[in-house]
């Protein structure tokens, strides 16, 4: 059951919660959603005091470290209102590419943020999502997590963590489908961000515009789908 504050939820507004929103794609989600008059935006950052640009765009910045189980567990207590759409955006890359470079510490770090974190965030916010009108969990993944498209190998921590995220999202879609949830994963494209680098062909604006178009038209029957940012589907 939701804590007090749920009764203030406006059914004519859409409440979004974006993780890892202090820069890159997450910050661009906040920018584009802030122009919509029917949106309430909640966003998370590991260090909210350093997220001034984000704070100017959203209703509230919530401290969250998606690699910290205690931080995630406390999220539900901080979010009092129903959440219509959870955007699991927080993620990390990895400099370890070849088999000879791998370490257990790096594998744990990358999987904790990219795989385990999004699933536990969804768990922490389930009551909020159940109280929302859209019941949508939108996970930012990567086409590098596609097993069918893996022709080059390498990038073990990153590829593996995104494949794991995809599998967990499908599990979540199947478990929550009877409740009318829509749980999907989406590849944002190769984007000019700190992670993607300046050689990337897509701007954050182009990527997020496409991702929001997907979110806007999602239906329960889309649950369990792997989308590209342009709306096409990708192979698992």
User: DSSP string spanning 7-38?
Assistant: GG--TTSEEEEESS-SSHHHHHHHHHHHT-TT
- The CATH label, of 3.30.300.30, 2.102.10.10, 3.40.50.720, 1.10.260.40, for the domain at 6-228 is 3.40.50.720
Domain ranges of the chain: 6-228
pLDDT (0 to 100) of residue 7 = 45
Write down the pLDDT at residue 208: 98
Q: How confident is the prediction along the chain (236 residues), in pLDDT tens digits per residue?
A: 454 345 455 668 999 999 999 999 999 999 999 999 999 999 999 999 999 999 999 999 999 999 999 999 999 899 999 999 999 999 999 999 999 999 999 999 999 999 999 999 999 999 999 999 999 999 999 999 999 999 988 999 999 999 999 999 999 999 999 999 999 999 999 887 777 778 877 899 999 999 999 999 999 999 999 999 999 999 99
Catalytic residues: 158
pLDDT at 4: 39
Residue 72's alpha-carbon distances to 81, 193, 212, in angstroms, are 17, 25, 25
Distance of alpha carbon 223 from alpha carbon 228, whole angstroms: 14
CA 148 to centroid of chain Cα atoms: 22
Measured in degrees and rounded to the nearest 5, phi and psi for residue 173 equal -60, -45
pLDDT of residue 200: 75
What pLDDT score does 68 carry?
A: 97
């Amino acid at each position: 059951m939701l804590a007090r504050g749920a009764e203030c939820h406006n059914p004519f507004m859409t409440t979004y919660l974006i993780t890892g929103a202090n820069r890159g794609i997450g910050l661009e989600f906040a920018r584009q959603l802030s122009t919509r008059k029917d949106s309430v935006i909640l966003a998370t950052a590991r260090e909210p005091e350093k997220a001034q640009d984000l704070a100017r765009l959203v209703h509230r910045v919530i401290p969250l470290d998606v690699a910290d189980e205690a931080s995630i567990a406390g999220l539900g207590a901080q979010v009092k209102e129903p959440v219509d759409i959870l955007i699991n955006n927080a993620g990390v890359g990895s400099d370890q590419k070849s088999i000879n470079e791998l370490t257990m510490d790096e594998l744990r770090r990358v999987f904790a943020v990219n795989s385990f974190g999004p699933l536990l965030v969804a768990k922490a916010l389930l009551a909020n999502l159940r109280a929302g009108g859209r019941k949508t969990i939108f996970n930012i993944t990567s086409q590098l997590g596609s097993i069918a498209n893996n022709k080059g190998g390498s990038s073990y921590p990153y590829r593996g963590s995104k494949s794991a995220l995809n599998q967990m999202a499908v599990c979540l879609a199947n478990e929550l489908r009877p409740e009318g949830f829509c749980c999907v994963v989406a590849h944002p494209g190769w984007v000019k961000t700190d992670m993607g680098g300046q050689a990337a062909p897509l701007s954050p604006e182009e990527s997020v515009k496409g991702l929001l178009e997907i979110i806007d038209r999602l239906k329960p029957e889309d649950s369990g789908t792997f989308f590209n940012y342009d709306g096409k589907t990708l192979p698992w």
